Amino acid sequence: MYFVTFCVYTWQKFVEEVLETIELDDIKDSLVGIAGQSGLSTEQRKRLTIAVELVSNPSIIFMDEPTSGLDARAAAVVMRAVKNVVTTGRTTVCTIHQPSIDIFETFDEVFKSAFG
């Protein structure tokens, strides 16, 4: 019984750390809801998607356009969460098309791909 209790406690602690990293701890008991009607905003949903992936504790995470469909403020919040993921020691790879200068400056390394 002690082992099970310890495992549940450890798992809960890990999930809490993920929520803090992605900055969702303030809304952890909220319903996801229907987009545009209730529940989480689009930006919160993007961060939730990242958190769901982090629960499997990957050493590397790939994100395809994590800021697509977001306004500048929401994109900045998502990229701050991505930067928080990087500080946990995980390698993070993102594809971004036409980032704002603020988003561009959050990257540690940039690889440009172009035809020709």
User: pLDDT by residue (tens digit) across 25-69?
Assistant: 998 888 887 766 677 888 999 999 999 999 988 999 999 999 999
Closest CA to 55 of 83, 19, 89, 86: 19
Sorted by where each starts, the structural domains of the chain and their CATH numbers stand as 2-104 (3.40.50.300)
Closest CA to 77 of 53, 106, 37: 106
- pTM score: 0.82
Closest CA to 81 of 110, 108, 46, 36: 46
User: pLDDT by residue (tens digit) across 78-97?
Assistant: 999 999 999 999 999 999 88
CA separation for the pair 80, 21 (Å, rounded): 10
